Amino acid sequence: MKELKHRFSSGFFIVLALALLIFGSNNTSFVNAVRGQITDFFVPILSVASRPLQAVDDLIDWTQQVAIVFSENKRLLAENAQLKQAQITSSQLAIDNQRLKRLLNVGEGQVNIIAAARVVSDSESPFFKSVLINRGTDDGVLKGQAIINEDGIVGRIINAGSSSSRVLLATDINSHIPIKLASSGINMILEGDNSPYPKLGFLPIGEEISVGDLILTSGYGMVFPPDLPVGQVLEITEEGIKIKLSAKLYNLNYVSIVGYEIIRSSVTRRDDRSSKGKK
Amino acid sequence: MMKGPESKSERGFRWALPSISILGLIILMQLPYRISFLDNLLPFLPMAAVYYWGIFKPNLLPVSAVFFLGLLQDILSGGPLGMMALLLILVRLFVIQQGRRFLEREFLFSWLVFIIVALIFGLATWAISSIYIREPQYIWDALGQSMLTIAIFPAIVWGLGLFRLMLVAEKR
């Protein structure tokens, strides 16, 4: 009798797991809401549990910084002098750029930093590349928003709970990010393939690309603001073009959640109103 | 190596120790280690723990607990919902089908059987993930995880052995 009961309960849970595998893959709003609530509960635990790792990481960073402090200071002084020159040039270009945009009536993209967040969990799976961050809808985070860090793009929010969110990394096979070649402005798609180096898709025939070329976000898709650093071309083979991302996705600590929207200039809004009035 | 006093009864919260140990390993697997190669090679720690408790304390690890722990791992890792729940139940079922006396005999024998279980487990995660993503994935990543799990199995047995000692109630 006991054996029969055991067999029945095992069978029941196997069927339940199979049903979840088949129907849970649709990622319905109910499934996402339940996932969000459970991760909300575990994020504080993961946050506390990851503190020792954080402390070790900080110690290693500190030791490395102390070891190179003199050479780094020398390099930074030289870089500072160069940057001062570049700042003067770029401020002149920014004024020119604004004037030309006003003349052409180009819609200005507005980038809002929604929040800064800490990465508290990593999927640590070869087939699913995502991380959990400790910010959610309570902090203004929404599904689809972009995640960046100081080096470049990281990924986008795919599920937001009230106090935690899941970020699909740019290396995941489901990640597709509109990008462009910095030198020529050719638009392409960055396609994750679960390897550390995502590949380039939709390179127009006849266009030239070479190792070391800089890749930026194009701003298409309205998720990532334009001109954010993505990475550099790592290798070009018959199988495809591989990109080395600027951000080290295996070493994420703090990230920023970014909202992006196009704000039309006052000239356009006035034109829109007048055309509606005429109708 | 794997033998110990098992005859005494469990009291208090001790009945939950196997589940707590597996929960701890699930949380350990989700921490951000920030090491480049580790995200593809993290061992299947909860699977090894289910195998261990399935041999020594199957009555303290009911199939419902295995299901919910597997589901929790799926939710925290962002993987397909139900994958780990299904595979962990199958590991438990296999161990119980073999019978405790069969696997409890010697550590080396148990380890040899575990090699087969871990390899099949790795292949199954690869197959389910490939079907879920609808694209064949790189098989050696999953097998690498299996190999690492096999390699550290003695350490897991030692660690869980300490937990098992806590299950032995003091004579009153």
Q: In Å, how far is A130's CA from the nearest CA of chain B?
A: 7
Query: What confidence tier does B79 reach under pLDDT thresholds 50, 70, 90?
Result: confident
Give CA–CA dist A4/A18, Å, rounded.
21
pLDDT score for B137: 87
Q: List Cβ neighbours of A211 (8 Å cut-off, separation of 6 or more).
A: A233, A234, A235, A236
Residues B123-153 have pLDDT tens digits of 999 999 999 888 888 889 899 999 999 999 9
Q: Per the CB < 8 Å rule, is A13 touching B34?
A: no
Q: Print the domain residue range for B51.
A: 12-29+39-161
Quick one: average pLDDT of A92-110?
Answer: 80
Q: What are the φ and ψ backbone dihedral angles of A187, each rounded to 5 degrees? A: -85, 135
In a domain, B170, yes or no: no
User: CA of A57: how far to CAs of A3, A246, A253, in Å?
Assistant: 50, 20, 10
In this structure, what token pair is assigned to residue A245? 């991302």
Q: Print the domain residue range for A254.
A: 109-263
Q: In Å, how far is B171's CA from the nearest CA of chain A?
A: 29
Give CA–CA dist B150/B166, Å, rounded.
25
End-to-end CA distance of chain A: 80
Q: Which of A9, A13, A199 best probes binding to B when mutated, by most B CB atoms within 10 angstroms?
A: A13
> Which residues does chain A have within 8 Å of residue B34's beta carbon, measured at their own beta carbons?
53, 57, 250-253
Task: Give the number of domains in chain A.
Answer: 1
pLDDT score for A58: 85
Of the candidates B12, B15, B111, which has an alpha carbon nearest to the alpha carbon of residue B55? Answer: B111
The one-character DSSP state at A197 is: S
Query: What confidence tier does B34 reach under pLDDT thresholds 50, 70, 90?
Result: confident
Give ipTM to 2 decimals.
0.84
> Which residues does chain B have within 8 Å of residue A49's beta carbon, measured at their own beta carbons?
27-28, 31
Sign for the pseudo-dihedral over CA of A239, A240, A241, A242? negative
In a domain, A80, yes or no: no
Check if the beta carbon of residue A38 is closer than 8 Å to that of residue B75: yes
The b-or-e profile of A226-242 (16+ CB within 10 A means b, else e) is eebbbbebbeeeeebbb
Give CA–CA dist B58/B21, Å, rounded.
14
For residues B128 and A30, the model is more confident at: B128
In a domain, B116, yes or no: yes
The b-or-e profile of B141-163 (16+ CB within 10 A means b, else e) is bbbbbbbbbbeebeebbebbeeb
Question: Who among B27, B77, B138 is closest to A123 (CB)?
Answer: B77
Q: Per the CB < 8 Å rule, is B133 touching A127?
A: yes
In a domain, B21, yes or no: yes
In a domain, A93, yes or no: no
Q: What angle do CA A216, A217, A222 make, to 5 degrees?
A: 170
In a domain, A252, yes or no: yes
**Burial (0-12, 13-18, 19+ Cβ within 10 Å), A276:** exposed
In a domain, B156, yes or no: yes
Q: Per the CB < 8 Å rule, is B141 touching A127?
A: yes
Q: How many CA atoms lie within 13 A of A86 on its CB side?
A: 6
Quick one: average pLDDT of A207-214?
Answer: 88
Residues B41-58 have pLDDT tens digits of 889 999 999 999 998 888
Give CA–CA dist A224/A215, Å, rounded.
13
Cα radius of gyration rounded to whole Å, chain B: 16
pLDDT score for B10: 52
Check if the beta carbon of residue A226 is closer than 8 Å to that of residue A219: yes
Residue A223 CB: number of other CB atoms within 10 A? Answer: 20
Whole-number average pLDDT of chain B = 85
The one-character DSSP state at B31 is: S
Quick one: average pLDDT of A43-55?
Answer: 88
Check if the beta carbon of residue B109 is closer than 8 Å to that of residue B103: yes
Question: Who among B30, B89, B142 is closest to A17 (CB)?
Answer: B89
Residue type for position B15 = W
Question: Which CATH number is B148's domain given?
Answer: 1.10.1760
Task: Give the number of domains in chain B.
Answer: 1
Give CA–CA dist A215/A161, Å, rounded.
32
| A200 strand-pairing partners | A190
Say if A120 is an interface residue toward chain B (CB within 8 Å). yes
In a domain, A99, yes or no: no
Question: Which CATH number is A141's domain given?
Answer: 2.40.10.340
Check if the beta carbon of residue A123 is closer than 8 Å to that of residue B37: no
In a domain, B6, yes or no: no
Give percent of chain B above pLDDT 90: 53
Give CA–CA dist B99/B71, Å, rounded.
26
Q: What are the φ and ψ backbone dihedral angles of A135, each rounded to 5 degrees? A: -135, 140
Check if the beta carbon of residue A255 is closer than 8 Å to that of residue A153: no
3-state DSSP helix/strand/coil % of chain A, to nearest 5 = 40, 25, 30
> Which residues does chain B have within 8 Å of residue A11's beta carbon, measured at their own beta carbons?
none
pLDDT of residue A267 exceeding 50, the answer is: no
In a domain, A24, yes or no: no
